């Protein structure tokens, strides 16, 4: 696993519960930026928890950065 994801051992992860607050924000982000609610939900959660977003979705990273969220793009 470490050969596939060399950055994983240096990162910490947390499980985040989805609350209606996240869903409301996700719908807003999705409609204003023409992305799926699924992708917007991740952005809403990182905004709420003030953590960076790691993603391999270039459009999701662009929207996150537009919203002043630190996005780590993983090609």
Instruction: For residue 75, give both structure tokens.
Output: 């090609």
For 21-50, how does the pLDDT look when each residue is reduced to its tens digit (9 = 90+)?
Answer: 788 899 999 999 999 999 999 999 999 989
Give the model's pLDDT for residue 62.
98
Distances (CA, A) of 69 to 3, 5, 9, 42, 46: 28, 23, 23, 11, 8
Mean pLDDT, all residues of the chain = 84
Distances (CA, A) of 5 to 8, 12, 15: 6, 13, 19
Domains of the chain: 17-73 (3.40.50.1010)
| pLDDT over 70, % of the chain | 75
């Amino acid at each position: 696993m470490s050969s596939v994801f060399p950055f994983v051992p240096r990162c910490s992860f947390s499980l985040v519960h989805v609350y209606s607050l996240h869903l409301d924000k996700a719908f807003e982000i999705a409609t204003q930026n023409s992305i799926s609610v699924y992708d917007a939900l991740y952005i809403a959660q990182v905004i709420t928890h003030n953590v960076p977003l790691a993603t391999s979705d270039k459009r999701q990273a662009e929207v996150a950065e537009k919203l002043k969220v630190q996005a780590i793009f993983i090609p």
